[in-house]
Structure 1
Amino acid sequence: MNKSNTAIDASDVINQTSNSMTLSQEKSWKDYLTLAKMGIVTSNLITTFAGVFLAAKYTGVSLLDQFHLVLFALIGAGLVMAGGCTLNNFIDRDIDPVMERTKDRPSVNGRFQGTHVLLVGLMQSAIGIILLSLANATAAIIGIIGLFVYVVLYTMWTKRTTTFNTVVGSVSGAVPPLIGWAVVDPGLHSYAWLLFFIMFFWQPPHFLALAMKRVEEYRAAGIPMLPVVAGFEVTKRQMVVYVAALLPVSLMLYPFGIVYTVIAAVLGIGWLVLGIAGFKMKDDIKWARLMFVYSLNYLTILFVLMVIVHL
């Protein structure tokens, strides 16, 4: 009887240990994905693919014949972006504990040591640049520039010193479609630059909406986001200006066809109307949430639409 119970107990311990190890392993992978900010990486890979696809269409290159270049572009760009985000987590370990949305990051809660986060970020970035360089030098150079702007000029410098941090961050955030286009066409057609500027003008209203939602967290962390320094009214005006600038830029791609042009116009005008409505809404935080959600839908729909109309 005792021997049987002992055997059962030992079996339970082994099973519990095995389950614990499995859960721990699963959680560690989730931690790496959290460090890489996979939501940001995924949305940017959509724009990278759009750049590759459109470049192939306008240069007559067969993506099937150049499938290896597509893989280099997507995996390389994804790793560069993941590396930049991981390095961002390493650098922001002093302010992330103060903010509700970042206090549970693996770089903050003790899951990973700082040196480990730094090493992972550097490895991701290096492998990503190598893969882009296997496609061509232009794609790799753009990747390096985007990484430098995001990690050094944005995260290490302007994020902590000036309200222009959002504009600086928008430069790095706008390079994914350029990388994708450069893999196929290093000469970078004017359409590639229009994709860049669509991304550039899209980002300030997107991130300023987030900053409004989290204004007290940024204030507590000492980060000079525009809503913290200048208040909501100035921030709303800035957001509307960027949305208004985005609309004509998106319509400059009218050669993509009538379907694209009409939907881009409707999306842009809708966002502009919502932005202007913010001056009359009493609940600024609710308006910021609406602007944030609209911005996510706008970007996804617009870039997916670009691909669909060229199928």
Structure 2
Amino acid sequence: MSSVTVTPTTVPAARVGAADPPTPQQPVPVPVTPRPSVGTLARAYLALTKPRIVELLLVTTLPTMILAAGGLPPIGLAVAVLVAGALAAGAANAINCYIDRDIDQLMRRTARRPLPTHTLQPANVLGFGLVLAVVSVGLMAVFANLLAAALTLGAIVYYDLIYTRWLKRTTPHNTMLGGVSGAAPVLIGWAAVTGSLAAPAWLLFAVVFLWQPPHFYALALRFKDDYARAGVPMLPVVASARRVSVESVGYVWLTVAASVALWPLGMGPVYGVAALVVGAVFVVEAHRLDRRCRQLPASELRPMRLFHVSTTYLTVLFVAVAVDAFLFS
């Protein structure tokens, strides 16, 4: 086993009324396997797709399809859309790893990814991502419709070229602006079933879009030093924890408001009760983090509590969408 270090590139910083993030530091030394086995390579390619993120995206897609269909959509369509959606998300994540290979080597959280460890070569990673992208868009066009395929392509392009390549490295508002691609699966699922977009689809899109800042701000608070090492201007790096918590509270309230606004548009009591109950839990945890940010040092903030609560919130809410559609559509 040996260690590999690569000279990092400088990442632009942004100013938000606080100190700019420091200049990127030296790469994190990690063990490198000179000749990876077939199993190691397979696991590396799978890791590029970030399966946990893919899983969360699919949690929002299927319930939206059920709501759009007023019950279970055609099985063939549902399977095709979920497979194509998983491939699209995997493609976007793999290309993200290719673009971010210079900063991934600087952060302890990402230093063991396939490119920083040289388990895979950059050209192979880019090719893998592009193949997945082509296959996913093709499947969506063949088994769903052109609108769903266009939205799928747009989500991949937005995530990799607009968010990863530009926003992430230049503005502390990257998390909010980058939320378009994370919320796109909702629109894709609806379009795949109906061939169009309607008010419920846009409200569910708003829920996921507004949910992302508090979810990822909590993660960025936890790994603030990592982002600072890489010179990435995430909001917790360039602004105070209190500023981050105040914004999180605002986005959580807006998320819950968007979810409740969907209730009068044909949703039944299962969804309404779920939106109110899990929304209240989400709001309470956001205010708890804000209170800790005002009273405690950074080492005692426990921001990952909000991160995990937000994941549970989104999962329960979209399960309620599916159950409500089955019972009352």
Same fold (TM over 0.5): yes
- Distance across 2 between alignment mates of 1:179 and 1:136: 10
1:125 corresponds to 2:129 = no
Q: CA deviation at 1:28?
A: 2.2
- Partners of 1:300 and 1:283 in 2: CA distance: 31
Q: Which residue of 2 aligns with 1:89?
A: 97
Contact kept in structure 1, 2:289 and 2:306, CA below 8 Å: no
How much does 1:175 deviate?
A: 0.5
Deviation of residue 168 (structure 1)?
1.9
Q: Does 1:221 align with 2:230?
A: yes
Kept in 1, the 8 Å contact 2:91–2:130? The answer is yes
TM-score by length of 2: 0.83
Higher normalized helix content (fraction of residues): 1
| Residue 183 of structure 2 is aligned to residue 183 of structure 1 | no
How much has 1:262 moved relative to structure 2?
Answer: 1.5
The 5 A counterparts of 1:66-145 are: 66-134=74-142, 135-145=144-154
Cα deviation, residue 258, structure 1: 1.5
In structure 2, give the amino acid aligned to 1:145.
G
1:230 maps to which of 235, 239, 248: 239
For residue 205 of structure 1, what is the aligned residue in structure 2?
214
Give per-residue Cα distances to partners, 1:150-207, cap 9 Å, x unaligned.
0011000010000111012111000011111111112212111111111101100000
Query: How does 1:48-63 map onto structure 2 within 5 Å?
Result: 48-57=61-70, 63=73
- Any idea what SS the aligned residue of 2:70 has? helix
1:29 aligns with 2:18: no
* Structure 1: gaps of 5 or more residues: 1-22
Distance 1:40 1:248 in 2: 25
TM-score by length of structure 1 reads 0.88
Percent identity, aligned pairs only, is 38
Q: In structure 2, what is the Cα distance between the partners aligned to 1:105 and 1:111? A: 8
What are the within-5 Å matches in structure 2 for residues 250-269 of structure 1? 250-254=259-263, 255-269=266-280
Distance across 1 between alignment mates of 2:38 and 2:267: 47
CA contact (8 A) 1:129 1:144 kept: yes
In the alignment, is the contact (CA less than 8 A) between 1:76 and 1:128 conserved in 2?
yes
Q: 1:238-262: CA deviations, max 9, x gaps?
A: 1111001011110122132122212
Give the gaps of 5 or more residues in structure 2.
1-35
Residue 11 (structure 1) aligns with = none
1:148 to 135, 157, 162: 157
**Residue 18 of structure 1 aligns with which residue?**
none
Superposed CA deviations along residues 19-53 of structure 1, whole A, max 9, x for unmatched, are xxxx9333322211110000000110111111211
Following the alignment from structure 1 to structure 2, what is the Cα–Cα distance between the partners of residues 259 and 81?
30
Residue 247 of structure 1 is matched in structure 2 by 256
How many Å separate the matches in 2 of 1:278 and 1:96?
28
Q: Among residues 159, 166, 182, which one is paired with 1:173 in the alignment?
A: 182
Rounded Cα–Cα distance in structure 1 between residues aligned with 2:114 and 2:237: 27
- Bigger relative contact order (CA 8 A; separation at least 6): 2
Q: Is the 8 A contact 2:269 2:324 kept in 1?
A: no
Bigger radius of gyration: 1
Which residue of structure 1 lines up, in the alignment, with residue 314 of structure 2?
A: 299
CA distance in 1, matches of 2:37, 2:67: 42
Cα RMSD for the two superposed structures = 1.5
Which residue is equivalent to 1:15?
Answer: none
Task: State how many pairs are aligned.
Answer: 284
